[in-house]
Structures are given as structure tokens and as C-alpha cells.
Chains A and B, each alone.
Chain A
Amino acid sequence: MQPSGRQEESRQRDGRYEPWLKIAPEFNEPAHYTGESPSGRRLSYAEAIREALVQAMEIDSSVFVMGQGVDDPSGMFGATLNLQKRFGKERVFDTPLAENGLMGVAVGAAVGGMRPVYFHNRPDFLLLAMDQLVNHASKWSYMFGGAVSVPLVVWACIGRGWGSAAQHSQALQGLFIHVPGLKLVMPGTCFDAKGLMLSAIADNNPVLIIEHRYNFRYKGIVPEQPYRIPFGRGVVRKPGKDVTLVAISYMVSEALKAADELTKCGIDAEVIDLRTLRPLDKEIILASVGKTGRLVVADSGWKTGGVTAEIAALAAEQGFSGLKAPVRRVASLDLPTPAGYTLEDAFYPGAKEIVAAAREIFSWRGSVPEGA
């Protein structure tokens, strides 16, 4: 559960060192949700995920939840809180620290007709399970001509901040977007966290959900009834005409902050939340670039060979005629994550870097926004 604002304040006053103090809860939802009704039931990000799991397990007896610490008192950032009490130790269980072996167990259970949801605390630990995830889960359908399906969901949360350093905070979506046969999902709002989780569980193929710890600050409007958000369909979070800001997961909120900042400079930015990286909504990117002629891609992962590179290449290959200026990329530095917070600040890009990238585009050969 998210700590209340008062608890947060008192902890800071006491000077105690609590793991999650750096993740300050935001009581004002970022301007993410673009649903038709601004009112509705509000849930925290963790509650939204948990509701998806509860509903999936109620809907389908083949759904189960496994992973190191899914029955912990903290309940995996709150996402699996009390699930074991509700569904029992057979359907919600802790696992040995054997990432690759247990990933194979999850694959086998899926092949046997179950729908496992395998929680990993951090994407870093997924590297120990690359063999089963990449060599097995992602290839089992193709390699056997579609004879065997693997309806598996793997979940991991990028542990940015609080000095988590090089092995507890990696944003590895750039590695996983490379793998055919693996769907890659990165929600950015509470609404999407629930709807994309339900889509992932419902999918007959392996799906990797990479969350971002900062998203767990959010509260947002989440409809109570189960719903699924289709993969491969991004969403325009803020319409605009001068420059396209493409982002995913937590970077969407940074892009929205950047868009606000750019408005002050007379630049009307359009913000696109991709929601899933595989499948990738190429149409929404190309349509927006065709309209604005300018593109900034923002991602929490590394720059070289990563998500921003892929999307920039898409624009170059398929959207070149619409571009008025070179594409700019905003990504983490090509370094292991440093622990110290002054170094973290230098390492992680955010709204400031997105604004700078967008403005740089407009300074290119005197390119100016229309009407500016």
C-alpha cells in the first residue's frame, strides 16, 4: 500500500531511513488519463494490478501467481498483497531463488494448460532466466509450427532510485524488444496497468510486463469491471502539432511534464504513450510524425541499440518524407547505474532532457514552430 502523505512527512521528520521514502506518493494524478469521464473510482497503481490478478484468478482457474516474495508482507510493491490468503498456497506461491529453473517450470506449466503469472522483483534477475525466456518460451510456438502454446506472463519492476545501483535498477526493455516471439508490455498509468495485465494473462503467448517503480506513486481512475487493453495500440496522451514526443511507461509522465514546459516556449508537443513495445504501434508514431515533422523518443533504458534506437530507425525508414528535422533521442547514459544520488541525477534523463532535445530540434537550421 502507498504510505499516506502524513506518514511520509513524519518519517522524513524522524530522519529514519525507509526503503520507500524516495518514492513519494503523488496525490495529484498526472494528466495521464484521457478517458471520457474525468470522474470515477480511483485506485493506486498496485491496487490496479492486484485487481487484475484477482479478477483473472476468479475468471479462470488455470491462472496462478508465482515468484520470489509474492506472499511477502509487502506483497511485491502491493501488487500481490493478500492474494495468497484469498486464493490459497497452491495458486499463489513463493519460489526458490532459481530464476532459470523456475522460468522453465512456468513454461512447462503453461504448456500443460495453466496460465502462470511469474513475478520477478527486478528485471536484473531476469538475466538469470534468459535461457528459458529467450531460448524456450519465446520460441516454443514457432519452433514447433504452432503445435504448442505458452500462455505465460512474466512481470518485473525496474527498481530506479534509492541508490539501487547497477544490479537492481536496470531498464532492460532494449534487450527484450530484440526477441521475436516475446510480447513486451510497459504500462504507464493505473488504468493501463490493470487492462494490460488482463490482456497479458488472456494472451496465449509469452508476455513480459516491465513495470517502473515510480509508477507505483500513482493513483488513477480504474473501472471496476475487468477490461483488456489491446496490445500494439498506443494512445495520444496529449495532442499537439509541432513535435511528437514518443515515450513509454514512466517516461510518459516525464514527456507530459516536458510538453507543459514546451508550451511556455510556444511549442505544441504531442505525447504518445506506446503501451506495448512488441507489438509496436508503428502507425500511431508515423501518423504523428507525418503531422508534426519532428520526433523526440524518450526511454528509461540505455541509448545504444535500445528502444529509442528502434523507434528512431522506424521514423528514418518509414517516416523520412515527413521529417523536417533530425530525430532526437533521450535515454539513460550508456553506463551501469550509479548508486549515489548526484550521479543518479546525471544518469537518468527526464523532462528537462526531453525539453532540451525538442528545443534543439527547433534550433536546427532555424526550424520554427508554426505560429511561433
Chain B
Amino acid sequence: MEPPRETLQALYRAIFRIRRVQLRIESLYRLDEMKTPVHLCIGQEAVAVGVCAALRREDYISSTHRGHGHYLAKGGDLKSMIAELYCRETGCSKGRGGSMHLVDTSVGHIGSSSIVGGSIPIAVGLGLSIRMKGEDRVSVAFFGDGAADEGVLYESVNFAILKRLPVIFVYENNQFSVCSPVSSRQAGEIIFHRTPSDLMHSCVVNGNDAVEVYGEAETAVLRARGGAGPSFIECKTYRVREHAGAGSDSSGAYRTAGEIASWESRCPLVILRDRLRAERNADPRELDDMEKAVDSEIDEAFRFAQESPLPRGEDVHLHLFCE
């Protein structure tokens, strides 16, 4: 069922915003003022946006090194994120984390790990805390196909099923770990799609279609809130850019320019724009105005970051422990 127009617009806006932030990072990255390894999620934004649209502010997410989209989709503060990329004291992690370690606990983002698979069990642990405290929350683990190679995923899913925890595993399959395609690393379809549905709901969706992702996420969230336990959503998508840094690696030997182009033509923005245009009352100016507002918000965030103070060397010892 097609969601209402306001929902489509909100999804479009969120994806557009994440895209524009990343394009800005990409265009400024060569100046070497953002001295932190960025892992862009251009082309994958619909996964984060579709899932987070089904969540409440107080719901938890755990994220990865490729986490800009998760952070922004969950409602993380844009200025604090950009300041973190500039390693400023005003950054969300006070310049101690960098691009791979974003956090905004005010919206349930408890931090992202750059150890592949590392944040999955942490999301399960948050699910356990929700259960033990009797809270009305869910916990989402975002992870990629690299993490699906890791044993910790199996351990985490098993425990979530065992305890029927309110956890949603979002398998963001962008098909590459650095330059290694998933087909060279995994023997076949991931095993969790064979889990009996009374133990765990699982599905495969077009990860580039935010509406599809949102629909499955809503099902999973309802299930989790109702005490029926975890879900496993595989979102098939594609990493358009290179593994790390800014720019394309279409000249690389491990994939062709044609393959990249074919995925770009199916990008989340294209799919949503088509859906919006199919609406009877579509107004093209509406999207233009929204896009302008997003750009000026991004201008302001980058200005804020560039003007913010750097952490002082003598404060290097701070924050090792919490009081």
C-alpha cells in the first residue's frame, strides 16, 4: 500500500538531506580540513531513512563506520556531526571520535563502531535493557554484508531469539567489503532467512526503495513492541562510491562503470521522485523549496564546524572514564 503523500515527502526530504550532506563532504574533502576517514553511504540512504521513519525518538540504534545516514535519519544533530568530521570540540564526540564514531544519545543513537560487526551485540544488549526495565522501546542494529561474514552476528541473533528481545537486525547489503564482493565471501543466501517465522521474522527488500524498507520496518517494529521478538531485514543496495574517502572508483578492476551506472539509475532519490510524481497533486515547486532549505541548513552546519574551536592538546586525557 502506498503511504500518504506527507510520508513520501518526508522520506524524500530525509534522503535528499543525507545525500546533499555527503556530496558536500565529498566536494570539500580534498581540502584536507576533514582529517578523518569518511565512508560515504551515497546510494544507500533509503535503508537508514526507511527504517528510522518507523522508529520513535527514544528507540535505540547502533551503527557502523558507514554511519552518516543512520545518524541523520535517526535525528542526530547535523551541526555536531559536521563538527565531528572537522574534529572540533563542538563535535558530537568532542573531536575524539571522527567520522566513524558518531553519537547522539538524545535521539537514541548510542554510538557507531568501526569494528565490522562490533555494534550488533550492543544493540542486542540495549534490547535486553529495554526488557529488564520494562520500557516501550525497540533497538535496531544496522550492519553491512562485511558484518554478515562475522561470527558475532550469529551469536547476537541467537541471543535475541532466545530471549525474544525487541531487536531489529537491519542487514544493509551493499555487496562489497572494501573491494571484495559478497559472492567471494559468502557461500550463499544468509542463513537467517531460514529461521522459523515464529522465532524471528525475516525478509529481503529492495534497499533502494525507502517505501519498501519503511513498510517492512513498521512490521518489525510492531512485532518487537508487541513482545514477539526480533526481526531480520535484508536490504539489498549498492555502494556507489569507493570504500573510504571521497570519489568514485569505477576505474577499479573489481567492478565495472556500467554496473555502477545501472545502480545509480535505480538510486533511492530517483525511485522516490518517480513515486511522488505519480501523485495526482504533485507540485514540482514544493520539492525545489524543500531542497533549497536543506542546502542552507547544510551551509550553516559547515560554517559552524569550520568556525568551531579545536580540542586543546592538554585536554587529551579527558573522557577516558565517565564520572
Contacts and interface: CB of A to CB of B under 8 A. Distances in A.
Interface of A: 62, 64, 90-91, 95-96, 98, 100-114, 131-132, 135-136, 140-150, 180-181, 204-205
16 contacts: A98-B159, A101-B154, A101-B156, A101-B158, A103-B121, A105-B122, A107-B122, A111-B125, A112-B60, A131-B152, A136-B118, A142-B320, A144-B101, A145-B94, A147-B92, A148-B105
A265 to B, nearest CB: 44
A204 B319 CA distance: 12
A108 B105 contact: no
B115 A135 contact: yes
B91 A145 contact: yes
A108 B115 contact: no
| The 3 nearest A-B residue pairs measured at CB | A108-B125, A104-B121, A101-B155
B118 A108 contact: no
Given A136-B113, A144-B103, A145-B96, A108 B128 contact: yes
Nearest to B133: A113
A147 B106 CA distance: 10
A260 to B, nearest CB: 39
Given A105-B124, A131-B115, A112 B133 contact: yes
B162 A96 contact: yes
Interface residues of B, number: 46
Nearest to B121: A104
B61 to A, nearest CB: 12
A180 B118 contact: no
A346 B111 CA distance: 48
A114 B103 CA distance: 19
B121 A107 contact: yes
Interface of B: 60, 62, 91-97, 101, 103, 105, 110-111, 113, 115, 118-130, 132-133, 139, 151-152, 154-156, 158-159, 162, 318-323
B83 to A, nearest CB: 11
B103 A105 contact: no
Max count, chain B CB within 10 A of own CB: residue among A64, A114, A205: A114
A204 B321 contact: yes
Contacts of B124: 101, 104-105, 108
Contacts of A106: 125
B110 A148 contact: yes
Contacts of B93: 143-145, 147
A111 B126 contact: yes
Contacts of B318: 146
Given A114-B133, A141-B320, A146-B319, A104 B97 contact: no
Given A141-B321, A143-B101, A204-B322, 12 more contacts: A98-B159, A102-B159, A108-B62, A108-B122, A111-B110, A114-B133, A143-B93, A144-B96, A145-B93, A145-B103, A149-B322, A180-B320
